[in-house]
Structure 1
Amino acid sequence: MIASAYFTTLLLFLLFQDVSGAPTASTPAVGRSIPLRRLSPSSQNLTLVAQRAKGQRDMLVAKYGGQSLGKRATGYNLLVNQGIDTGYYGSIAIGTPPISFDVILDTGSSDLWLTSSACGAVCGSSPTYDPTKSSSFQNLSMPFEITYGSGAAAGYVAEETVQMAGFSVQKQGFAVVNSLSSNFNQNPVSGLMGLAWASLASSGQTPFWETLASGGSFDSALFGVQLTRYGNASDATENEPGGVIDMGYTNSSLYSGSIEYYAIVGQPEFWEINMNTLTVQGKSIDIAGMSSAIIDTGTTNIAGPATAIASIYAQIPGSQPGTGQWQGYYTYPCSTTVNVEFNFGGNSWSMSPADFTHTQISSTQCIGAFFVSTIGQGGPSWVVGDAFLKNVYSVFRYNPPSVGFAALSTTAIAQNGIKAPPPSATIGTVSAEVTNTGAASSGRPLSTLLCFWLVSASIAVMLL
């Protein structure tokens, strides 16, 4: 019965997707998407969970404190879900000849980085990039060095041909990391692709997606994301189907109704929008003067101001502030069903009670997904991560700069917890090719943002 249900769902999904990543001749706008994959172990090491939760809280300070054109096209890349909804990664190909790598996909940063073959054992057992095997590699001789709370990383900025979801960008800037103080990447993840705006890029390089969107390579100047849920699946395994990123189009098979868009706050940098209201157990939480929210696929949970987070858990009898490595988080009775609704200026969007539970730490006590932000003054009030994004089809639009949400379709919902093998790499046959002719203007110091990326990747690939 399980296998039959899976193949029925898969067939419905394939009616709307070209899993090879190649263009489909039957539609005027050729689709490209990336399958997402996910790691989800069947048992949890609570000490490690707590360590990674602390890392997630601490990394927010580092993250937020401070062309020649081919034809237009679209594409998709299936994703992998990691660590019981902890993070999501997809595949890219880099170099000439192209070699595929798995990378965390992060709308909260703007740089692409890969670990180098010169990195050695500290980079773990994941595949590494070897520039000597590519004829299109060019070292820009720009040092790439960062420090963070528990160590340091170093490397350099280079240019390469990068492919993803059937698109190819020549002379794409990225960071080659050849020195890490600790093992950040869990096999098979080799790095991170930032999907925020060029003004945020610490390397000074225009992000892959923005080169394509600004140059007219996309049929529609946007990308969409659907993420799966396995947090409430008792038989989840190490790698699970994670959803999809649709590049240059929105996949109508994955959402119902219309997409509601919200304008970016200020100049495009992060995907930052205003949050109008937040309701918990039917009661409105006071967020006056603290409504700025960054939509971030690279953050597992949801961070907010201390007063608002305290108000959230005040609606849940038996809640208590966490201590030690759980400081900033809250415990609450696992038997309590917690209902949360977000409103960003139009429709209200519900968050599944299953996503409110970050992890269970005893037979009766759970850790909630909302935690206290440590960003401080000048940063966003809220960072809204995967705990919410699993509940909607999300769209990130280039022009006008905005974030959109739509209700998930029955096809998308049916992919939650499904027993199926994780997708293989879906680079796709190149249908649009551009040359990146200019670097971005960096808006953040190099040491600040890669600091986040390394910690974020650590959390995403090593949690649980």
Structure 2
Amino acid sequence: MYGSTVQLIVTFVWWISIASAQLVSVPLLKVEHNRQPELLSCISCIDNGGLVERQAEVDQNGSDVSYYVDIELGTSTTKKYSVVVDTGSYDLWVYSSSCTNISCISHQQYGPNDSPTLQILSNQTFLIAYGQGPVSGVVGTDFVSFAGYNVSMTFGLAENVADAFNAFPIDGTLGLAASDIQLNTYPSFLSTLTADGLISRSVFSIDLGKAGDPKPGTIVFGGVDTSRFSGDIEFADVVNVRGLWVIGLDDCYVNDKAENFKGKLAMIDTGTTLILMPPADALQVHRDLVDDSSLVITDGRNYVIPCNTSTRLEFSFSGVKWPMSPSDYVGRPYDDQGNCVSNIQGTAINGTATWLLGASYLKSVYTVFDRDQMKVGFAARGFGGVDVYSDASSTSSASPSTMSVKPTSIVSSPVYSATATELPVSVSDGKSL
């Protein structure tokens, strides 16, 4: 997860009760925030001696956007906890009431006084190492409520939190990784929903939404929402064995020109705002994105591009190209000369082979995360899409129900940005500063 002072509060709504497992749709909210340079990337997720590598580093300034849902905890509290939807991490965690540092007390906290049903597990702890410091604490079991459901599950209660988290209005994270490989003895949020029969498939799908959309984004557990996409869902196999949503990347195209990248992988991460590429790859892409390929403005990591660019950018997976609108890869204004900061950053997250596609890209498509078949699917945003999980088109014996989803009246206008507060030099031929 990389990244969330305005906070929007919306409750979970809209479900149809049926006798068997059902498809659950939850509105996905956006929050804009200003913060100091931070790093919210899970460099290593450590639990009980097990280490899961997730090497990345992103510094972001100014306005940023995080996508979150509201949950309720326990049996005697009506407090809502805003947790970032993060496909790049594993745990559900919130701030513990026993934590007294500034990062904890500035957020909603949770503890035994909030719920008589909370049980702290004496032999269990958790630790997640983020770029600007760790989050660690104890593990407890209690009820988690959302969309009308109330499930008992185990989650983290953060007792030690880096001061950097004070700048974020989020109350925790909702990890939705590809598998429960954090070596905990307790199942993840998605595994709990599946085991309890609340969803018939270990599948969820996301439409992050865009600024100006008449309705907010949504996350659907158990299947897909055909009112959010058009046509077919095109799937790519998950190739990472460490539990992250990593798929093969065929290539990247700029104005239909193939960049001829070979052997690349793409991590699909809703908890990150930016698109991250190894520095050499980012330089190559930006040479073609700007009008004059011989002149690239960069500090070696961040790039400046024309705010009014109409250059077509596409990513290809399993032989299918998916376009990205210029409005999604153009970030905040850089100067008064019509230049903006690019939402594509030159940052290596795992050598030279792996890219990370965050929200800047994912809001251009409808995305399906299928744990049962270990695939990631993309579809064009729209209406009337083909439901591969319906009885008519799926080989699965269990099928989700249909749901009525109503739009919320609260819509925020996101501003996407990358760090480029100091980019004073024009660098010819892409030489680093």
Does residue 110 (structure 1) correspond to residue 90 (structure 2)? The answer is yes
Deviation of 1:241 after TM superposition, in Å, equals 6.2
Task: Determine helix, strand or coil for the equivalent of 2:194.
Answer: helix
Aligned to 1:163: 145
- Whole-angstrom distance in 2 between the partners of 1:393 and 1:152: 32
Report the CA distance shift for 1:102/1:329 in structure 2 as closer, same or farther (over 3 A). same
TM-score (norm 2): 0.74
Aligned to 1:255: 229
Report the CA distance shift for 1:380/1:107 in structure 2 as closer, same or farther (over 3 A). farther
- Whole-angstrom distance in 2 between the partners of 1:31 and 1:348: 29
TM-score (norm 1): 0.70
Q: Is the 8 A contact 1:302 1:371 kept in 2?
A: yes
Task: Determine helix, strand or coil for the equivalent of 2:227.
Answer: helix
Aligned to 1:33: 25
What does 1:147-158 correspond to in 2, within 5 Å?
Answer: 149-158=131-140
Q: Is the 8 A contact 2:178 2:371 kept in 1?
A: no
Q: Is the 8 A contact 2:70 2:83 kept in 1?
A: yes
Q: Is the 8 A contact 1:224 1:393 kept in 2?
A: yes
2:354 to 381, 397, 410: 381
What does 1:403-414 correspond to in 2, within 5 Å?
Answer: 403-409=376-382
Aligned to 1:101: 81
Report the CA distance shift for 1:268/1:147 in structure 2 as closer, same or farther (over 3 A). closer
CA deviation vs aligned residue, 1:5-37 (integer Å, no higher than 9, x gap): xxxxxxxxxxxxx97233256x98744211111
Aligned to 2:400: none
State the identity as a percent: 29
- Whole-angstrom distance in 2 between the partners of 1:332 and 1:200: 39
Aligned to 1:348: 321
Aligned to 2:199: 218
Aligned to 2:160: 179
Report the residue type matching 2:207 in the other structure.
Q
Deviation of 1:39 after TM superposition, in Å, equals 2.1
- Whole-angstrom distance in 1 between the partners of 2:372 and 2:127: 33
Deviation of 1:274 after TM superposition, in Å, equals 0.6
Aligned to 1:21: 14
If asked which structure has higher relative contact order (CA below 8 Å, sep 6+), I would say 1
Aligned to 2:370: 397
Task: Determine helix, strand or coil for the equivalent of 2:109.
Answer: coil
The CA RMSD measured in Å over matched residues stands at 3.4
Report the CA distance shift for 1:367/1:311 in structure 2 as closer, same or farther (over 3 A). same
2:410 to 421, 439, 449: 421
Q: Is the 8 A contact 1:157 1:203 kept in 2?
A: no
| Structure 1 gap segments, 5+ residues each | 1-17, 67-82, 413-417, 424-458
- Whole-angstrom distance in 2 between the partners of 1:199 and 1:321: 42
Question: Counting strand residues as a fraction of each chain, which structure ranks higher?
Answer: 2
CA deviation vs aligned residue, 1:96-117 (integer Å, no higher than 9, x gap): 2354311001001110110122
What does 1:243-392 correspond to in 2, within 5 Å?
Answer: 243-267=217-241, 269-289=243-263, 291-315=264-288, 316-318=290-292, 320-323=296-299, 327-363=300-336, 364-377=338-351, 381-392=354-365
Q: Is the 8 A contact 2:203 2:371 kept in 1?
A: yes
CA deviation vs aligned residue, 1:68-127 (integer Å, no higher than 9, x gap): xxxxxxxxxxxxxxx966210001121123543110010011101101222233325322
What does 1:221-236 correspond to in 2, within 5 Å?
Answer: 221-230=202-211
Report the CA distance shift for 1:19/1:199 in structure 2 as closer, same or farther (over 3 A). closer
Report the residue type matching 2:95 in the other structure.
T
Report the CA distance shift for 1:399/1:165 in structure 2 as closer, same or farther (over 3 A). same
Report the CA distance shift for 1:146/1:343 in structure 2 as closer, same or farther (over 3 A). closer
- Whole-angstrom distance in 1 between the partners of 2:278 and 2:321: 21
| Structure 2 gap segments, 5+ residues each | 1-10, 45-52, 57-61, 386-406, 422-433
- Whole-angstrom distance in 2 between the partners of 1:419 and 1:158: 32
- Whole-angstrom distance in 2 between the partners of 1:150 and 1:190: 17
Report the residue type matching 1:101 in the other structure.
Y
CA deviation vs aligned residue, 1:331-358 (integer Å, no higher than 9, x gap): 1222322311111013211111100112
Task: Determine helix, strand or coil for the equivalent of 2:280.
Answer: helix
Task: Determine helix, strand or coil for the equivalent of 1:252.
Answer: coil
Task: Determine helix, strand or coil for the equivalent of 2:281.
Answer: helix
Report the CA distance shift for 1:274/1:152 in structure 2 as closer, same or farther (over 3 A). closer
